[in-house]
Amino acid sequence: GQNIDQPTEMTATEGAIVQINCTYQTSGFNGLFWYQQHAGEAPTFLSYNVLDGLEEKGRFSSFLSRSKGYSYLLLKELQMKDSASYLCAVRDPTGGGNKLTFGTGTQLKVEL
Amino acid sequence: DAEITQSPRHKITETGRQVTLACHQTWNHNNMFWYRQDLGHGLRLIHYSYGVQDTNKGEVSDGYSVSRSNTEDLPLTLESAASSQTSVYFCASSEAGTDTQYFGPGTRLTVL
């Protein structure tokens, strides 16, 4: 089975740093994705981790620990436009293929 | 530029009617996916395809069907629309051998 947990909501201040956590329990694992979704829009790809460690991409970084079933997305120098839902998704190769299972998302609100 | 489009963007229909949602991508991706997104459930996989003539059921496939007659299109059909199928529907595609999925703009479907 698949179980992916993320906090439902978070609030942070413009210019600050925020960490959004994701824990997963899946029958198989072959990579974890983070997507950003603004209200009324499509999800857009942010990052992909398949090996343990930190992947940095500008203001956004993503970390993975496979042994702990844990990932986080780190957003630095927060801007108002970062207010969005952040979706964690796990690729489970069980049964073959490239299917993703998504968490329910973390709604981030950035305030002045 | 290559892209993925969905049509219509908004649709209102009545219970019991057959509805088809279109998805078209110009990336020449082999993999295509249909999701529905509802509050509290996140993105859930309905059907997916890894190539022409290939279709597979996702976790919430009851009441839906797809067909893949060419690389570019994966239409989603609701055989007999039900109010429980009121949702936002997203189509996505990915290149064979990679797992990053790119999403279309979504279709908001209301079944009355």
Q: How do residues A32-81 score in pLDDT, each as one tens digit?
A: 999 999 999 999 999 999 999 999 999 999 999 999 999 999 999 999 99
- Structure token pair of residue A80: 């108002």
> A-B interface: how many C-beta pairs under 8 angstroms?
52
Question: Which chain A residue has its CA at the smallest distance from B50's CA?
Answer: A97
Of the pLDDT bands very low, low, confident and very high (cuts 50, 70, 90), residue A26 is confident
Contacts of A48 in chain B (CB under 8 A): 99-100
Chain B residues touching chain A at CB-CB below 8 Å: 31, 33, 35, 40-45, 48, 50, 56, 58, 90, 94, 98-106
pLDDT one digit per residue (tens) for chain B, 112 residues: 669 999 999 999 999 999 999 999 999 999 999 999 998 888 999 999 999 999 999 999 999 999 999 999 999 999 999 999 999 999 999 987 777 999 999 999 999 9
* Whether residue A96 has pLDDT greater than 80: no
Whole-number Å distance between alpha carbons of B19 and B11: 9
Q: How far is CA A47 from the centre of its chain?
A: 8
Q: Is the dihedral of CA B108, A109, A51, B42 positive or negative?
A: negative
A85, A105 contact by CB (below 8 A): yes
Mutate which of B101, B102, B107, B108 to test chain A, going by most A C-beta atoms within 10 A?
B101
| Rg, Å, chain B Cα set | 13
